[in-house]
Chain A
Amino acid sequence: MRTKVEVLNKTELDKIYQASLDILEKIGVNIEDDEIAGMMKKNGCRIGENNIVYIPEKVVTRCLNSTPRGKVRLSGRDPNKDIILEKNQKYPFIISHVLMNYYDELKNEYRTITADDIKKFITISDSLETISGSWMCTLMPEFGKMYTYYEYELAVRYTTKPVCVSSFEPEAVPPTLELAEALAGGKDDLIKRPLTLAYCEISPLTWNRYGCDMLKASARWGIQPAITVETPMGDTGPVTFAGNIAQKIAELLSGLVIVQILQEGLPVAFVVPLETFDMRTAQICLASRPDYLYGLAVGQIEDYLDIPFISPVSPDSKTLDMQQAYELGFSLLPRMLSNNKCIVVHGLDQTHAICNELLFLMDEMVLSGRRILEGIEVNAETLALEPLAEVASKMEGSRRNGHFLNHRHTLKWFAKEQLPRKDNIIDKYRREKWLEMGSKSFVKRANEKADEILSAYKPEPLPEDIEKAIKKIHEKYSI
């Protein structure tokens, strides 16, 4: 049976959803853009004082109905590697997030990220089967303005997998979109394989000017929005799970309603972290005890809404230490167990830094998570009575001496059951052998693996026509 963990029953999900609808209808959403507020009024919403827009259930239902359901596509250079978020996916997709800083554990160096760091990180991500795409948000000083475009261009140079971006600068959207269009193969293909761009609503229940600009930019250019809400528990969201989730859903739906009013039929994905306001340090943390439980609920909530949730994971640890492994494992595994559609892993240091070696820890964890999801297969062949009888029949004198090591049953099933790897960097040697191999830590082995990949693995280069398109974009936007 396939593994799935559930923490909410249907009645509880119904109650949470009803609370979300009540929030939208009775508490309302603050819309800082008069044009959007006006359009919402025309579409059946009520406007109160201070541009508070009250959204009735029928408007929400209508907008949910006009949102394409079933499949959301995150695109990159190679259509065969596109991420298709849909019900009954075999495994969650894992995306590696590129952030503002680079942490080098072996040199004990923490630095502002460089283009070279991004190139290496994306190349390794491209080479790993467990990583399905990259998400860019570096705010890189090296790039200055138009960083959204720069980092998008840099990423697509080194991976053929999907690349999504988070943007805080509407002026960088047109060149980014033009490059996405060139990569998709033209305007029509861009509709089928859109650029995905994340931007944030402000909790509690506010679409500020920036958010509204991004919503309008999405609608104008047909960009697939990844609507993001952040409701840290006890800060800008209730400290209770049920209330916090209800607020999240209300805020997400408010974004969906606006998108559908601005451009009916645009596909939508939600980016939904669970942050905890840490009452001891006054820090907003993604990795926390509440997050580990929320991780188990994510898959259920997205299936209930039938809108994919892209779910961020981010350890707070500053180094590649035991805390890092604990936080990454406890954030990642519950999401996988709840069949969350897509998980974005944000390195370390509270979404501030990335690290190549961490990709290999994540890679191992994802593989183990997949094995857990596969569950335990019980049938005549896996019960293995025949092979056992055969093995048990082997005698040396009056003592059984058979084993399964040279049995065809083992050959047939070991890969499926154990999911072994030939290039495993998790140490399983005897101590003596480990000493002989240099007594290397996981980080050191991961570092060597990263070097090996960077010297041997060559990502598919950009085709010539795309290079020409990039040149034109640079000229047009003085980039």
Chain B
Amino acid sequence: MDNRIKQIYDAVMSYDIELVKELVKKSLEEGENPLVIMNDGLSRAIIEIGDKFGREEIFLVELMIAADACMAGVELVKKNILENRIPGQKPKGVVVIGTVLGDIHNIGKDILKTLLETGGFEVHDIGVDRNAESFVSTAVETGAGIIGSSALLTTTAPHQKDIEKYLKEKNLKGKIKTIIGGAATSQQWAEEVGADFYASTATEGVNIIRRFFEGAENENKS
């Protein structure tokens, strides 16, 4: 890793948003390949930060700020790619996320969104208090491979079942996978509603989604 990329990596690891922006800008001006900045500097750092959080070596706020720092760098790289018409990297996968009907708690969903975006996924966030139709129609429109729904309250969690029901009605069950999370959910609940995956934390969700798309890609290749 060259020195500038290492500096970008270190700036994300030290939660310094302004420094990340400054270094990414300089690096792009010096003609560094934006994909190298993205993969070796920004993504590498955020994967490491995510792992650290998973090992309980850092706290959630540190993960979030590092993700923001990373995202600030990603935005600059994206802009550069578009301006210079360099063929961009294909997203690692397309994901629709949102909070179910009646539930306005968005923190977990937002963490997942940030981590997925910084991890190279295309994320369509439909927001909070959304019905099953919104989830499924957005997934169809964007060609998403997976729908992630969050429910904090036991009173709203049953709406995750609505998504499964709606997918079945539209004959999409199995074609579009589902992952559920949120304080009111559990592995047992995922099995009960018929969701494909359950994640107890946002970082776990990212790992499951990453594995799912890697598996799907390998299947396509073979």
Taken together as a complex, chains A and B put the C-alpha atoms of A59 and B183 apart, in Å, by: 69
Stretch at the interface among A83-91, A394-402, A456-464: A394-402
Residues of A within 8 A of B196 (CB): none
Contact with B along A386-415 (1 / 0, CB 8 A): 000000000011010101011010110010
Residues of B within 8 A of A420 (CB): 59
B52's nearest neighbour on chain A, judged by CB, is A422
Q: Which of B60, B129, B187, B188 contacts A405 (CB 8 A)?
A: B60
Q: Which of A396, A411, A422 contacts B106 (CB 8 A)?
A: A396
Residues of A within 8 A of B114 (CB): 406
A414 contacts B200, CB within 8 Å?
no
Number of interface residues of B (CB under 8 A): 26
Taken together as a complex, chains A and B put the C-alpha atoms of A406 and B64 apart, in Å, by: 5
A422 contacts B200, CB within 8 Å?
no
Distance in Å: Cβ of B2 to nearest Cβ of chain A: 29
Residues of B within 8 A of A411 (CB): 15, 61-62, 65
Residues of A within 8 A of B65 (CB): 406, 408, 411
B128 within 8 Å of A (CB atoms): yes
A476 within 8 Å of B (CB atoms): no
Distance in Å: Cβ of B153 to nearest Cβ of chain A: 15
A401 contacts B61, CB within 8 Å?
no
Distance in Å: Cβ of B110 to nearest Cβ of chain A: 7
Taken together as a complex, chains A and B put the C-alpha atoms of A414 and B61 apart, in Å, by: 8
Distance in Å: Cβ of A184 to nearest Cβ of chain B: 40
A413's nearest neighbour on chain B, judged by CB, is B61
A432 within 8 Å of B (CB atoms): yes
B192 within 8 Å of A (CB atoms): no
Q: A405-B61, A406-B61, A410-B61 are in contact. Are A397 and B107 (CB under 8 A)?
A: no
B180 within 8 Å of A (CB atoms): no
Q: Which residues of chain B (96-137) have a CB below 8 Å from chain A?
A: 104, 106-107, 110-111, 114, 127-129
B128 contacts A405, CB within 8 Å?
no
A397's nearest neighbour on chain B, judged by CB, is B127
A192 within 8 Å of B (CB atoms): no
B57 within 8 Å of A (CB atoms): yes
Residues of B within 8 A of A220 (CB): none
Contact with B along A97-135 (1 / 0, CB 8 A): 000000000000000000000000000000000000000
Categorize the interface residue count of chain A. 10 to 19
B207 within 8 Å of A (CB atoms): no
Residues of B within 8 A of A433 (CB): 200
Q: Which residues of chain B (11-31) have a CB below 8 Å from chain A?
A: 15
A401 contacts B128, CB within 8 Å?
yes
Residues of A within 8 A of B67 (CB): 406
A430 within 8 Å of B (CB atoms): yes
Taken together as a complex, chains A and B put the C-alpha atoms of A420 and B58 apart, in Å, by: 10
Residues of B within 8 A of A406 (CB): 61, 64-65, 67-68, 114
Residues of A within 8 A of B111 (CB): 405
A405 contacts B59, CB within 8 Å?
no
Contact with A along B53-88 (1 / 0, CB 8 A): 000111111101101100000000000000000000
Contact with B along A321-360 (1 / 0, CB 8 A): 0000000000000000000000000000000000000000
A414 contacts B106, CB within 8 Å?
no
Residues of A within 8 A of B60 (CB): 405
B186 within 8 Å of A (CB atoms): yes
Taken together as a complex, chains A and B put the C-alpha atoms of A403 and B114 apart, in Å, by: 14
Distance in Å: Cβ of B93 to nearest Cβ of chain A: 23
**23 intermolecular pairs with C-beta atoms under 8 Å apart:** A396-B106, A396-B127, A396-B128, A399-B128, A401-B104, A401-B110, A401-B127, A403-B106, A403-B107, A405-B60, A405-B61, A406-B65, A411-B15, A411-B61, A411-B62, A420-B59, A422-B56, A422-B59, A430-B183, A432-B186, A432-B188, A432-B200, A433-B200
* Contacts A396-B106, A405-B64, A406-B68 known; 13 new A-B pairs at CB < 8 A: A396-B127, A396-B128, A399-B104, A401-B104, A401-B127, A401-B128, A406-B61, A406-B67, A411-B61, A411-B62, A430-B183, A432-B186, A432-B200
Nearest 7 pairs of A and B residues by beta carbon: A406-B64, A410-B61, A405-B64, A432-B186, A396-B127, A401-B106, A411-B65
Q: B residues within 8 Å of A by Cβ?
A: 15, 56-62, 64-65, 67-68, 104, 106-107, 110-111, 114, 127-129, 183, 186-188, 200
